[in-house]
Structure 1
Amino acid sequence: MDNSQPAGQNFDFDWLVVGSGFGAAVSALRLAEKGYRVGVLEQGRRFDDSDFAERATQLRKYLWLPALGLHGILRLAPYRHATVLAGVGVGGGSLVYANTMYQPDSDEFYRHPQWDDLADWRTELAPHFDTARRMFGVHPYAGDRPVDDLMRQLATDLEAPEGYRHTPIAVYFGPAGQTVPDPYFEGAGPARTGCVRCGQCMLGCRFGAKNSLPKNYLWLAEKAGARVHSDLKVVDVAPLGGGSGEFGYRVRARRPGFARRGCRTFTARAVVIAAGALGTNELLAACKRRGSLPDLSDRLGEMVRTNDESIPAATSDDPGADYRSDAAITSSVFLGAHTHITNNTYGDGGGLLALTYGPATTAGTTSGRWGQLLRAYPGYLRRLLTDRQWSRRTVLFTVMRDTDVSLRLRRGFGPGRLQTEAAGSAPGGETAADVARRVATLAARRMKGRPLASLADTLGSAPMTAHFLGGAVVGADRDHGVIDRHHRVFGYTGLLVCDGSAVPANVGVNPSLTICAMAEAAMSQVPAAHEDPAPQP
């Protein structure tokens, strides 16, 4: 591959940002504010509020499977040890996230050995957490619905009544359905519409109330001059001139799907890789394998995290039960120092998810779980065929832990395919799966119904996670990590990683705010354009 760059040739952009999720949007705005010409490349489409699905059964709007013509906001990626849920589209994970913005509190994160010696992270990240909260308009949920009563009762059943609290969320709760001028950025942001309390946040907000990235960071980045290119999947990043980035980079992208069409090439002085933990690991692994970025650390793909997460559920047998909430997640239970549980609801629109769940099993072996499920599933399926209220009567529970459990990503079968391998294991005692079964069982008892478990977990021991992290983590040097404390890739000039793949430890809470704070910290170290002369050969 010829990556030569004639001396003096202009670049298409000063900085190219790969992805448009939390870390990418922060990077785009801060770089544009510093006076750089910024481009953003996103494989998904751009959505107006009216484009989002009303129900999960609207697959073209909801699911991401471009080979089948599905260009929605949710990607499901099955691996051997986890089933990953990731966001796609201009705004990345913020389109499908549950608006929940927790700051981690545990030293298991801030003092993890992977990066403890590099900084006092609790102090260093504190102002950047404040900035991110301000950008997202974070505030505690202030309602009280039946699902909140359920969570309060669950806290008591788990012997942690003091652990109950309302979650901090990023939603505009102005007058319901009423559109007003920008209430957050002194008129510089878009007009906003008050939340109608439908609880369908994770389908994408059709009403303009959800504080997603197109309403804050990306909106302001584009106003500052950043150019966002949608429907372009980056497939290669390579230094120009055969160097290590001192001459800039060539970035190749194409339309997603099987058809090799719409290929484009961009050049930039510097690049931020921020395609989400899943996309970044896939892209960097491909670049290392084909020789585009051969000097990437061999630690790439190590210390992959899932927030030690499991997502059980419980459904009520009462046909009149209604566990819909104002927003997707409204309450939390902190169980001890290391476990965090949230409620998750889909309003009336999540009925399709019933097909991904089945009756909870108790067997300890895979074959035992298969047997129990095969005996119980026909009855469950018969009920589903006549059930139009499953989404209304069902609550999903996200069980997260900050324990030091990790996976690694290695090359799998098929072009560009990665697969997980077990790495660090949990300490002895109750596992995340044990906690998930206990939560579902107790909740079902309160709901006068039945506990459920995801089929991926029951049949394949691959629990669902919406919080895939790590793989290109911060470290002291290339023998211990992929990027340095300022997110610069070891071995290369002008190449940064600023998304969930940089996070070195399980955070134990929803990680969106953490990703933003870490990206804010990284961008604070980039000099302004007038202070940053072009790299010299």
Structure 2
Amino acid sequence: MTTASAFDEDVVIVGSGFGGSVSALRLVEKGYRVRVYEAGRRFEDDDFAKTNWNVRRYLWAPRLGCFGVQRIHRLPHVMILAGAGVGGGSLNYANTLYQPGTAFFMDRQWRDLRDWESDLAPHYATAKRMLGVVDRYPHTGPVERIMAGAADDLGVADTFRRAPVGVWFGKPGERVADPYFGGEGPDRTGCTLCGNCMVGCRVGAKNTLMKNYLHLAERRGAVIEPLRTVTEVRALTGGGFSVTTQRSGRWLAPRRRTIRARQVVLAAGTWGTQQLLHRMKANGALPHVSDAVGRLTRTNSEALDGAVATRVPKSLELARGVAITTSFHIDERTHVENVRYGPGSNLMGALASIMVPGGVPLRRRLALLVRRALRAPVRQMRLGSLRRWSERGIIALVMQTADNSLTLSLRRRFGRSGLTSAQGHGEPNPSHLPQAHRAAEAIARRVEQEGGVTTEARGSWPEVFGIPLTAHFLGGAVISGSPASGVVDEFHRVWGHPDLHVVDGAAVPANPGVNPSLTITALAERAMSYWPRTGEADARPAQRSGM
């Protein structure tokens, strides 16, 4: 048995997003020596890009010298938008913090383990307090009226609501002492409604994890190392793990380092955590990881469509406000939210395309796209222009609680291993959502009515080719009752490696149908609540044998 003195740290945490940040704070509070490795860079408010055209500060492509907040991954069945940097997805998410409905907690993957809705209730409350959730976005503008009107036109006005958001509103632009943690937190500045939440909040109003969990964790002694990519987690014969890292983005002289930790928390986001688990299982570093790794990978059954006008409607400030402000349910399992970027942040408009119907062969979709472009070429050029794109339209983020999934596995190409996908359990993961098209068309009609300018529903180029977009990639190392059906137990311990833990979106077992950040935070709070304080006995039951 390895002695405690043989370890450099009690706990190494891989990743600093919602799960990793909660773990860092709660474990250092319980007396553990904690080190957090983050592949991305550290950002102060002024470090974020002013608009997303500054690709070096916005996009994450370290080998090309881009150390920004926006990761983009591609699989055969989905294109994924994710976060990078100290604070993970909180740096570029839409600060939107919904709690899912009962259907999520009753998913068959985990419903028999316990009453999750009741069990997680106090942890959702803690998460809301820590993330500074405002239950209802407090401002009303043209976009909020358009969304309410679209819901009414679709016959679902009773489902319209203001979004719960994690933003310090205060007095716009005014700097104040920490309003959340009795002076322990950083100073904050009131939101100016600039709309660039997803590029990175330069104002200091967004409640990123650097403003709460990570700030407090560092004050209590946790060590955070940015720009360190974890390349290996290896189980040691006498217990514990060796963790090897290298400098992110280095082609040559990667500056590898290895330390030993008694326990490891994987919180690298669904993509990063799954990559590590698949690779470590394949190379024997973590030989007991369940064969279920990669199964029940979820996309939140998501689509990103929208409505764009040919010119900026003078009476409508479509780019003013926080990133997401309202939502409605187009049916009982389909949730629609408006999304915006601020003025000048037009880069992501390159993903938008003419909307074509799904469910038809690719050749037919391409023919329809060309036909619509040729029918009104001048209008389509105006609609497709990136000039002032963020000021001319509304993105429609559409999510479902549908029980569909992908199965991810490891594939070797060009001498390197990477993730690939296949259709998994449940309904096929959708390549398009008819509900999203209906919502986008309703929003487009309302923009046209309100602004008096030609407006059209728009899809995305990946969707044209049958590949949906998701900003909420989940699962693949899910909570389960046994290693036959998932990767971690109800305490987030990896089956067969109980000192290894998955505490991020990869453990989420079902599509929540809403933005998952609050749920990941609540699950992490619950997982950490069961850890013993240093020196105390562990009250959690030992894992059952059967690997």
Q: Tell me whether 313-322 or 401-410 shows the greater mean CA deviation.
A: 313-322
Write the distance in 2 (CA, Å) between the matches of 1:295 and 1:436. Answer: 41
Aligned residue number for residue 419 of structure 1: 420
Candidates 253, 256, 268, aligned match of 2:245: 253
Candidates 293, 306, 327, aligned match of 2:286: 293
Equivalent pair of 1:399/1:432 in contact (CA under 8 Å): no
Note if 1:391 corresponds to 2:390.
Answer: yes
Change (3 A) 1:486 1:386: closer
TM-score normalized by structure 1? 0.94
Aligned residue number for residue 132 of structure 1: 127
Aligned residue number for residue 461 of structure 2: 455
Write the distance in 2 (CA, Å) between the matches of 1:257 and 1:189. Answer: 32
Change (3 A) 1:416 1:427: closer
Write the distance in 2 (CA, Å) between the matches of 1:253 and 1:305. Answer: 28
Shift of 1:117: 1.1
Write the distance in 2 (CA, Å) between the matches of 1:178 and 1:453. Answer: 39
- Secondary structure of 2:336's counterpart equals strand
Equivalent pair of 2:98/2:164 in contact (CA under 8 Å): yes
- Secondary structure of 2:409's counterpart equals strand
Write the distance in 2 (CA, Å) between the matches of 1:317 and 1:175. Answer: 34
Write the distance in 1 (CA, Å) between the matches of 2:535 and 2:51. Answer: 49
What are the within-5 Å matches in structure 2 for residues 271-310 of structure 1?
A: 271-310=264-303
- CA deviations on 1:176-210 (whole Å, 9 max, x unpaired) are 11111100000010000110110110001001000
Write the distance in 1 (CA, Å) between the matches of 2:522 and 2:371. Answer: 48
Candidates 324, 344, 366, aligned match of 2:319: 324
What are the within-5 Å matches in structure 2 for residues 321-470 of structure 1?
A: 321-362=316-357, 364-376=360-372, 379=377, 382-383=381-382, 388-414=387-413, 415-426=416-427, 433-448=433-448, 449-459=455-465, 461-470=466-475
Aligned residue number for residue 492 of structure 2: 487
Aligned residue number for residue 36 of structure 2: 40
Equivalent pair of 1:308/1:432 in contact (CA under 8 Å): no
Write the distance in 2 (CA, Å) between the matches of 1:514 and 1:91. Answer: 16
- CA deviations on 1:496-531 (whole Å, 9 max, x unpaired) are 100000000000110000000001110011000121
Note if 1:503 corresponds to 2:508.
Answer: yes
Q: Tell me whether 514-523 or 376-385 shows the greater mean CA deviation.
A: 376-385
- CA deviations on 1:422-481 (whole Å, 9 max, x unpaired) are 1134399x996101111112222222201111101112x111101100000001111111
Matched residues, percent identical? 44
Write the distance in 1 (CA, Å) between the matches of 2:344 and 2:514. Answer: 25
Shift of 1:89: 0.3
Tell me the number of residue pairs that the alignment of Structure 1 and Structure 2 aligns.
522
Equivalent pair of 2:405/2:428 in contact (CA under 8 Å): no
What are the within-5 Å matches in structure 2 for residues 95-134 of structure 1?
A: 95-106=91-102, 108-134=103-129
Shift of 1:109: 1.0
Shift of 1:356: 1.0
Change (3 A) 1:8 1:311: closer
Shift of 1:294: 1.1
Write the distance in 1 (CA, Å) between the matches of 2:33 and 2:143. Answer: 47
Shift of 1:110: 0.7
Aligned residue number for residue 522 of structure 2: 517
Candidates 59, 63, 67, aligned match of 1:67: 63
Equivalent pair of 1:358/1:377 in contact (CA under 8 Å): no
Shift of 1:375: 4.3
Shift of 1:362: 2.6
Aligned residue number for residue 542 of structure 2: none
Backbone CA RMSD of aligned residues: 1.9
Shift of 1:374: 3.6
Unaligned runs of 5+ in 2: 449-454, 539-547
TM-score normalized by structure 2? 0.92
The one-letter code of the counterpart of 2:523 is M
The one-letter code of the counterpart of 1:253 is T
Shift of 1:336: 3.0
Candidates 26, 31, 39, aligned match of 1:30: 26
- Secondary structure of 1:200's counterpart equals coil
